[in-house]
């Protein structure tokens, strides 16, 4: 019997032998996948909106083409148009004081029973005191454009959706509507069909039938205008030069029904740089005897710029136009504004009653392809995640990175393949060499990290941290939406509010953050700073996307918070302490609830006063008791005409003196004044996603001693109840059913 010889064991071999066995690949992959999924869920809960959206806002499903909607502008001339909210037009339905853009969205169309992704290319048709709007709406099911309509009888302030009025088997858009010889016609874009079609209204505005094919050409953005005798058809023929971004062609006729003769200079050129003239961006209009054409330059960052051209020469042989100054008010709020990213259409007409001009334009809050861009970046982060997971698995020895060479050996089964064997051998040789190098690398780094040693655990912790961060980024881009904090409509209308804050010189730093942050919120019209003490900042020190007005007071008193201010342009005022930071979505939700209950104080900090005598209790106690009867006005919506008038009424004079004596309790007084005129509940609570009290970091809080603060407020309750009676009855949490008062 031959005995086996014992072999010497090297130090490295002994070290490897002492290493603990690595986890199996399935166990490792399951553990890392679970960890990253939990990280994604945790990030989603922290970063994404926690509250349900109303059903009306969920019907609109924007896609890769954007989230287009339509807004109304008014002016004394076509060149002085301002958004409808600047005109102070109000609508009692939904407490829209004033009405604000947009006036038509895909949610409105979907609410009428027609699924929609966006509203674009709006055209107006005025008939007596009624204004009709025709526009393209995209069906998210068929991904096809249809023509829908809406009607307004209050100069464009509110619109009743009429639904889809023209639906063909092909894509339709750009619904240019005009009248001729007592008939109403529509000439939508139907370039997918390869021609330009004219429809007439059988039953205006809901039923249309084909009149004739005007041109056997795939025209886009086509309009007809009668000027100096002939009818002129202007459009872009995409068959001749292949680009939909530029080019204008002209035809002329003695009738809008044709026949049409081509212009001698087609496609007409820009007189300045000899480039093709810009595509139409809306209806041409005549002002002071001159013809103006609306065009769009769509070569700027994926969006378009609306331009207005004055037509100086228009004959069968010549065409000349020049750009004239034209500016529509543009929001600085970025994605929070309905038209913050781009606009590519404008229709202007003069109202029949009076000298007012009306314009309707479309706008989008995101650039073209935004959803695809976000998905691409998100999956790139997830892809890097996957590579790092595999690399970590190799480093700890859980994954063996060995590729079998036999997978890449050449083989052939047909004689006809014989002449390719040399190429296959050469290719397989290269692949085999590459695989060998990869396998060497896998063997070299495999098991290099001992996950039970402290140093190895540090390496693993760093890699896991990187994986978690990448997962959060990927989750944000894929599931986080477009980043906009949009307003909520009430009865199909939007509105705006004034943000009012009271402060003094010791809190200058928080005021700057306050103004910059909240000025980006979609429904904020203006910020009013009530300056109680010290030297106020200059306008240049405050970075704001909306106008900021600093109202310097003569006396340092908390009563200044509710001073009657005739310069406020909205009925709704949001009283907000300058040291409270919330999301714009929190403000928009609160504004929606106030518009549904404009006679109440709607806010974010509930309190409960109960007992005999009344005792002031915090939010935790109120939740334990299931309800509240006070809303702090340091973060609350109210009708300033109603609230401020009550606060400065003669019956509130004693209460104001008590506020001055304690330098406290102005919000409690207002709650009593509201409760004193109504037997119903006068307060509504909205739970914020998060709220940060910045005074905790500054040391300049007005009420630093909580116990003393609560004691004073309990005194106020006792005094006010003796003067004004009881507070409103207890309002229960989670009583509205919208999920926002939990």
Active site residues: 667
Residues in the chain: 742
Burial profile 312-332: b = 16 or more Cβ within 10 angstroms, e = fewer: eebeeeebbbeeeeeebeebe
Helix (H) or strand (E) holding 607: strand 606-610
Burial class (CB in 10 A: 0-12, 13-18, 19+), 164: buried
d(CA 45, CA 39): 10
Torsion sign, CA atoms 548, 491, 71, 151 = negative
Distance from chain centroid for Cα 413: 60
Alpha-carbon distances, residue 88 vs 73, 152, 376, 497 (angstroms)? 12, 17, 43, 12
Enumerate the H helices of 405-491 as residue ranges: 421-445, 454-479
d(CA 518, CA 533): 23
Closest CA relative to residue 663, chosen from 709, 705, 629: 709
Closest CA relative to residue 500, chosen from 518, 485, 512, 473: 518
Helix (H) or strand (E) holding 235: strand 231-237
d(CA 443, CA 206): 73
Task: Return phi, psi of residue 623, to 5°.
Answer: -70, -35
Judge contact between 248 and 242, C-beta under 8 A: no
Torsion sign, CA atoms 306, 311, 312, 315 = positive
Alpha-carbon distances, residue 463 vs 306, 377, 401, 456 (angstroms)? 50, 21, 19, 11
Q: What one-character-per-residue DSSP string does 27-70 give? A: HHHHHHHHHHHHHHHHHHHHHS--SPPPHHHHSB--BTTB--EE
Helix %, strand %, coil % of the chain (to 5):
30, 30, 40
Alpha-carbon distances, residue 255 vs 181, 225, 260, 382, 650 (angstroms)? 10, 10, 9, 60, 71
Judge contact between 292 and 324, C-beta under 8 A: yes
Residues 6 or more apart whose CB falls under 8 angstroms from that of 684 comprise 593, 594, 597, 600, 601, 602, 603, 631, 731, 736, 741
Torsion sign, CA atoms 5, 9, 13, 17 = positive
Q: What does DSSP assign to residue 458?
A: H
Q: What does DSSP assign to residue 650?
A: G
Judge contact between 576 and 634, C-beta under 8 A: yes
Judge contact between 200 and 211, C-beta under 8 A: yes
Residues 6 or more apart whose CB falls under 8 angstroms from that of 428 comprise 408, 409, 410
């Amino acid at each position: 019997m031959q005995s086996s010889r014992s072999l010497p064991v090297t130090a490295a071999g002994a070290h490897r032998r002492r290493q603990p066995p690595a986890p199996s690949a399935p166990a490792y992959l399951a553990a890392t996948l679970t960890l990253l999924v939990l990280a994604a869920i945790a990030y989603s809960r922290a970063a994404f909106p926690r509250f349900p959206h109303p059903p009306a806002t969920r019907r609109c499903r924007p896609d890769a083409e954007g989230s287009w909607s339509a807004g109304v502008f008014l002016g004394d001339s076509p060149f002085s148009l301002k958004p409808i909210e600047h005109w102070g037009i109000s609508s009692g339905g939904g407490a829209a004081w004033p009405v604000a853009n947009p006036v038509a969205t895909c949610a409105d169309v979907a609410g009428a029973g027609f699924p929609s992704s966006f509203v674009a290319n709006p055209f107006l048709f005025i008939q007596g005191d009624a204004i009709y709007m025709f526009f393209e709406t995209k069906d998210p099911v068929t991904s096809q454009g249809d023509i829908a309509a809406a009607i307004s009888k209050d100069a464009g302030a509110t619109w009743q959706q009429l639904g889809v009025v023209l639906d063909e088997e092909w894509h339709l858009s750009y619904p240019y509507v005009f009248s001729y010889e007592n008939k109403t016609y529509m000439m939508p874009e139907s370039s997918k069909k390869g021609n330009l079609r004219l429809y007439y209204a059988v039953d205006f505005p809901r039923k249309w039938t084909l009149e004739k094919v005007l041109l056997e050409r795939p025209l886009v953005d086509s309009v007809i205008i009668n000027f100096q005798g002939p009818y002129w058809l202007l459009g872009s023929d995409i068959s001749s030069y292949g680009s939909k971004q530029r080019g204008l062609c002209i035809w002329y006729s003695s009738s809008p029904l044709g026949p049409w003769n081509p212009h001698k200079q087609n496609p007409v050129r820009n007189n300045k740089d000899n480039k093709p003239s810009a595509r139409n961006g809306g209806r041409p209009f005549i002002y002071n005897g001159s013809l103006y054409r609306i065009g769009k330059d769509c070569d700027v960052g994926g969006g378009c710029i609306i331009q207005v051209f004055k037509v100086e020469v228009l004959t069968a042989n010549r065409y000349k136009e020049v750009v004239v100054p034209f500016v529509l008010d543009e929001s600085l709020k970025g994605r929070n504004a309905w038209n913050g990213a781009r606009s590519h259409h404008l229709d202007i007409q003069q109202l029949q009653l009076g000298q007012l001009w009306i314009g309707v334009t479309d706008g989008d809050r995101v650039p073209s392809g935004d959803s695809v861009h976000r998905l691409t970046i998100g999956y790139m982060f997830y892809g890097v995640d996957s590579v790092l997971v595999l690399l970590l698995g190799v480093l700890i020895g859980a994954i063996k990175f060995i590729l079998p060479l036999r997978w890449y050996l050449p083989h052939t089964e047909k004689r006809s393949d014989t002449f390719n064997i040399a190429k296959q051998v050469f290719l397989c040789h290269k692949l085999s060499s590459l695989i060998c190098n990869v396998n060497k690398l896998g063997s070299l780094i495999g098991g290099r990290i001992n996950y039970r040693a402290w140093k190895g655990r540090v390496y693993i912790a760093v890699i896991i941290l990187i994986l978690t961060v990448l997962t959060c980024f990927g989750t944000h881009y894929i599931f986080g939406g477009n980043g906009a904090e949009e307003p909520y409509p009430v009865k199909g209308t939007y509105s705006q509010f004034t943000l009012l804050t009271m402060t003094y010189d010791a809190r200058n730093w928080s005021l700057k953050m306050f103004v910059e942050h909240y000025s980006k919120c979609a429904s904020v019209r203006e910020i009013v700073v009530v300056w109680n003490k010290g030297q106020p900042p200059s306008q240049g020190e405050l970075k704001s996307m909306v106008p900021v007005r600093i109202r310097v007071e003569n006396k340092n008193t908390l009563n200044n918070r509710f001073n009657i201010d005739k310069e406020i342009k909205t009925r709704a005022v949001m009283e907000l302490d300058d040291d409270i930071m919330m999301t714009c979505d929190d403000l928009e939700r609160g504004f929606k609830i106030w518009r549904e209950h404009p006679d109440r104080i709607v806010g974010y900090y509930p309190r409960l006063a109960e007992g005999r005598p009344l005792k002031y209790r915090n939010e935790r106690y109120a939740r334990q008791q299931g309800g509240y009867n006070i809303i702090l006005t340091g973060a609350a919506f109210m009708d300033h005409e109603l609230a401020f008038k009550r606060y400065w009424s003669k019956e509130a004079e004693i209460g104001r003196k008590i506020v001055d004596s304690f330098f406290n309790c102005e919000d409690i007084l207002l709650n009593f004044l509201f409760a004193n005129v109504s037997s119903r509940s006068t307060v509504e609570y909205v739970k914020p996603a998060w709220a940060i009290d910045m005074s905790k970091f500054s040391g300049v809080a007005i009420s630093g001693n909580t116990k003393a603060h609560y004691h004073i407020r309990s005194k106020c309750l006792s005094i006010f109840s003796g003067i004004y009676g009881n507070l409103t009855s207890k309002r229960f949490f989670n009583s509205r059913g919208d999920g926002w008062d939990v």
